[in-house]
């Protein structure tokens, strides 16, 4: 029997089918990608996509909010419990919007912000020069130590004392080590700055206790709801009670109109899934897999930024292999291994053809892969890198990857149907 989509738009149906096959038949190592559960996907595609709900629960600008108010309140309460935060705003359309809302809530345009340099592992929205955040605010980037790849908290403190920013941003998109949010909080207090912590990449590890939470130290915490948190594509803001009204006002009406209620509903489901022992076991395995993969890559002579990883991602500096990151990423893609080329600290190469490769373990761990498979994937990477122009070898590896994927099908459900252990 044909589905409605298949009948009405067979071209889009076929493209979706092809993408589903690609996701199933490849090893997805992009650290920001994952697989959502069937429950999250059903919520995302539910009738909530039909509903406008401009405003907040109990204070909407549209009628017919009897159900949406209950859903949003449930999502807020689950997020607050999960992260142990005073207040949660679940309406941001993305992590980028959430970051901008955090800044808008706390400071004025033209004020100084201080975030990690994009080329050293930060995010565009931490004030990088091509982002609107650098147009609205005076941006002073801090860097990692180019020799160790590690954050130099003394240097960050000195920079903060020199420029006296109104906001310091802690968090990263390509930093493989633990971030000490407590020290960032101390630095912010010393210079009279607010601390905004962006945990978009590590949120799942934070709720599982694998990475220290910034919630006790930061004025506002920003995150996406996908990546290691394994929810839909959305954003989330957590803050201290004293900032709640300003944060809410910055999101709506400051930056957005009506929230995407279908996404917000799926966020509520993801918050429940993350509040289970099964999710803690998953996040623990994510870190174990990353460490196993990193150790094997080191054995194969790959140079890793910081020499390894404490979280879900690995940043490979390919200069000693004399292979551009873009070339290796494209060769791996032909072998059904999906990664992304990335700058490394002190990279002399241009951003669109950098010297690094960024990989991570959230998606493969969702499929049930463990340390042995992580090491096997490192071997695939070595074989491609050592004979990168050998198309027949890459084709052979792609077949081996497909066989491995067939042993670990994409799961539809991550928690038992009775929801035992899930707290509403």
Among residues 224, 265, 276, 361, the one annotated as catalytic is 224
Pair (360, 241) in one structural domain: no
pLDDT of residue 415: 60
> Six-digit token pair at 142?
């801090």
Q: Apex CA 370: angle with CA 424 and CA 151, to 5°?
A: 80
Each residue of 124-173: pLDDT tens digit?
999 999 999 999 999 999 999 999 999 999 999 999 999 999 999 999 99
Strand partners, 171: 198
Binding residue per annotation — 123? Answer: yes
209 located within any domain: yes
Pair (287, 338) in one structural domain: yes
Pair (252, 287) in one structural domain: no
Pair (258, 113) in one structural domain: yes
Binding residue per annotation — 403? Answer: no
Pair (324, 376) in one structural domain: yes
Binding residue per annotation — 81? Answer: no
Residue the block writes with tokens 């993408």: 19
Burial classification of residue 225, based on how many CB atoms lie within 10 Å of its CB (0-12 exposed, 13-18 middle, 19 or more buried): buried
Confidence of residue 38 (pLDDT cuts 50, 70, 90): very high
Say yes or no to pLDDT of 1 above 70: no
Each residue of 349-375: pLDDT tens digit?
998 999 999 999 999 999 999 999 999
What is the value of pTM for the model shown? 0.94
Segment 82-108 shows an average pLDDT of 98
353 located within any domain: yes
Active site residue 224: yes
Q: How far is CA 147 from the centre of its chain?
A: 26
Active site residue 228: no
Active site residue 278: no
Residues 6+ apart with CB under 8 A from 354: 324, 325, 326, 341, 342, 343, 344, 347
Among residues 72, 78, 112, 198, the one annotated as catalytic is 198
Q: How far is CA 341 from the centre of its chain?
A: 16
Say yes or no to pLDDT of 422 above 70: no
Each residue of 60-80: pLDDT tens digit?
999 999 999 999 999 999 999
The CATH code of the domain that includes 52 is 3.40.640.10
Segment 404-420 shows an average pLDDT of 76
Cα end-to-end span (Å), the chain: 37
421 located within any domain: no
Residues 256-267 as b or e (16 or more Cβ within 10 Å = b): bebbbbbbbbbb
Each residue of 271-282: pLDDT tens digit?
999 999 999 999
pLDDT of residue 418: 46
223 located within any domain: yes
Say yes or no to pLDDT of 176 above 70: yes
Domain count, the chain: 2
The CATH code of the domain that includes 395 is 3.90.1150.10
Pair (342, 209) in one structural domain: no
Active site residue 52: yes
Among residues 78, 157, 227, 383, the one annotated as catalytic is 227
Pair (212, 262) in one structural domain: yes
Q: How far apart are CA 105 and CA 226, in angstroms?
A: 24
Active site residue 164: no
Pair (119, 261) in one structural domain: yes
Residues 6+ apart with CB under 8 A from 166: 106, 107, 111, 112, 113, 193, 194
pLDDT of residue 351: 87
Pair (50, 72) in one structural domain: yes
Mean pLDDT of all residues in the chain? Answer: 96
pLDDT of residue 2: 74
Side-chain half-sphere CA neighbours of 215 within 13 A: 21
Pair (182, 250) in one structural domain: yes
- Last-in-domain residue among 274, 297, 330: 274
pLDDT of residue 421: 45
3 located within any domain: no
Among residues 13, 52, 93, 153, the one annotated as catalytic is 52
Say yes or no to pLDDT of 413 above 80: no
Domain that holds residue 384: 277-407
Whole-Å CA distances, 370 to 203, 278, 286, 364, 408 = 21, 15, 8, 8, 11
Pair (310, 253) in one structural domain: no
Among residues 73, 233, 249, 319, the one annotated as catalytic is 233
86 located within any domain: yes
pLDDT of residue 424: 37
Say yes or no to pLDDT of 258 above 50: yes
Sign, Cα dihedral of 41, 47, 52, 54:
negative
Active site residue 227: yes
Pair (82, 129) in one structural domain: yes
9 located within any domain: no
Say yes or no to pLDDT of 420 above 50: no
Among residues 54, 111, 152, 180, the one annotated as catalytic is 54
142 located within any domain: yes
Each residue of 211-256: pLDDT tens digit?
999 999 999 999 999 999 999 999 999 999 999 999 999 999 999 9
pLDDT of residue 245: 98
Residues 6+ apart with CB under 8 A from 403: none
């Amino acid at each position: 029997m044909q589905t409605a989509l298949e009948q009405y738009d067979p071209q889009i149906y076929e493209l979706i089918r092809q993408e589903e096959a690609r996701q199933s038949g490849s090893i997805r190592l992009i650290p920001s990608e994952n697989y959502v559960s069937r429950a999250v996907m059903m919520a995302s595609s539910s009738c909530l996509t039909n509903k406008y709900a401009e405003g907040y629960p109990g204070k909407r600008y549209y009628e017919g909010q009897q159900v949406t108010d209950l859903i949003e309140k449930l999502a807020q309460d689950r997020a607050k419990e999960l992260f142990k935060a005073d207040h949660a705003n679940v309406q941001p359309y993305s992590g980028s919007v959430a970051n901008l809302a955090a800044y808008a809530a706390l400071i004025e345009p033209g004020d100084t912000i201080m975030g990690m340099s994009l080329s050293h592992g930060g995010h565009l929205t931490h004030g990088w020069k091509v982002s609107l955040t650098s147009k609205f605010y005076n941006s002073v980037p801090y860097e990692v130590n180019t020799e160790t790849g590690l954050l130099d908290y003394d240097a960050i403190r000195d920079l903060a004392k020199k420029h006296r920013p109104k906001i310091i941003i802690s968090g990263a998109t390509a930093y493989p080590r633990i971030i000490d949010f407590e020290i960032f909080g101390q630095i912010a207090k010393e210079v009279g700055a607010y601390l905004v912590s962006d945990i978009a990449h590590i949120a799942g590890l934070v709720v599982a206790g694998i990475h220290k939470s910034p919630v006790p130290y930061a004025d506002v915490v920003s995150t996406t709801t996908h990546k290691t948190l394994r929810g839909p594509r959305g954003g989330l803001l957590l803050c201290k009670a004293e900032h709640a009204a300003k944060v809410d006002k910055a999101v709506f009406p400051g930056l957005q109109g009506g929230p995407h209620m279908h996404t917000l509903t799926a966020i509520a489901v993801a918050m429940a899934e993350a509040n289970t022992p099964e999710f803690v076991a998953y996040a623990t395995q994510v870190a174990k897999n990353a460490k196993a993969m990193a150790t094997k890559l080191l054995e194969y002579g790959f140079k890793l930024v910081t020499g390894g990883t404490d979280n879900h991602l690995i940043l490979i500096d390919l200069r000693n292999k004399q292979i551009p990151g873009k070339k290796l990423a494209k060769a791996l893609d032909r072998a059904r291994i999906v990664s992304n080329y990335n700058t490394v600290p002190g990279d002399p190469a241009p951003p669109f053809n950098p010297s690094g490769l960024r990989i991570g373990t959230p998606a493969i761990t969702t499929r049930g892969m463990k340390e042995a498979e992580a090491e096997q994937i490192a071997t695939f990477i070595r074989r491609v890198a050592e004979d990168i122009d050998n198309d027949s070898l890459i084709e052979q590896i792609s077949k081996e990857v497909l066989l491995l994927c067939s042993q670990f099908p994409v799961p539809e459900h991550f928690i038992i149907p009775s929801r035992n252990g899930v707290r509403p």
